């Protein structure tokens, strides 16, 4: 099978997912699968609301066409610690942020590789 056919077949087998990354706790969540990006976009607010109610902070959202191997990823290595420390340093240098949850939405109607 040619490389282009292999890539096309893998993209067809992938579904759309809502990927949510939080810095506190340092975690990556995947919600889905969805049949198209629009369906994922329409449901993302409910997932964000649930995480905010649970105390999650610094929330970043992306709609992705991918195949996650885990639905919740809690990195417990040095990279995760560095990521969380970077977030804390970055927040301490911004006086306009006062311990409020930040929601950043990235809406995409195009396929994004993982």
Residue-number span of the structural domain to which 14 is assigned:
3-106
Per-residue pLDDT at 106: 42
113 within domain boundaries? no
Span 37-56, average pLDDT:
97
70 within domain boundaries? yes
Q: Given strand 103-106, what is the order of strands in its sheet?
A: 72-73, 26-34, 15-24, 57-66, 103-106
pTM over 0.85: no
114 within domain boundaries? no
112 within domain boundaries? no
What is the C-alpha to C-alpha distance for residues 73 and 31, in angstroms, rounded to an integer? 12
71 within domain boundaries? yes
User: Which of 63, 67, 62 has the alpha carbon at shortest distance from 10?
Assistant: 67
46 within domain boundaries? yes
Q: If you average pLDDT over every residue of the chain, what do you get?
A: 74
111 within domain boundaries? no
pLDDT tens, residue by residue, 48-90: 999 999 999 999 999 999 999 999 998 765 455 555 555 555 5
Number of independent structural domains in the chain: 1
User: Does residue 33 have a pLDDT over 90?
Assistant: yes
Percent of the chain with pLDDT over 90: 50
């Amino acid at each position: 099978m040619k490389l282009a056919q292999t890539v096309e077949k893998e993209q067809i087998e992938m579904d759309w997912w809502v990927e949510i990354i939080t810095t506190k706790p340092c975690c990556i969540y995947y919600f889905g699968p969805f049949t198209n990006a629009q369906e994922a976009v329409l449901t993302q607010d409910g997932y964000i609301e649930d995480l905010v109610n649970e105390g999650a902070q610094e929330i970043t959202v992306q709609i992705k066409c991918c195949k996650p191997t885990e639905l919740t990823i809690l990195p417990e290595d040095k990279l995760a610690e560095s990521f969380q420390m970077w977030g804390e340093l970055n927040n301490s240098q911004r006086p306009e942020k006062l311990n409020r949850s930040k929601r950043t939405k990235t809406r995409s109607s195009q396929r994004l590789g993982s």
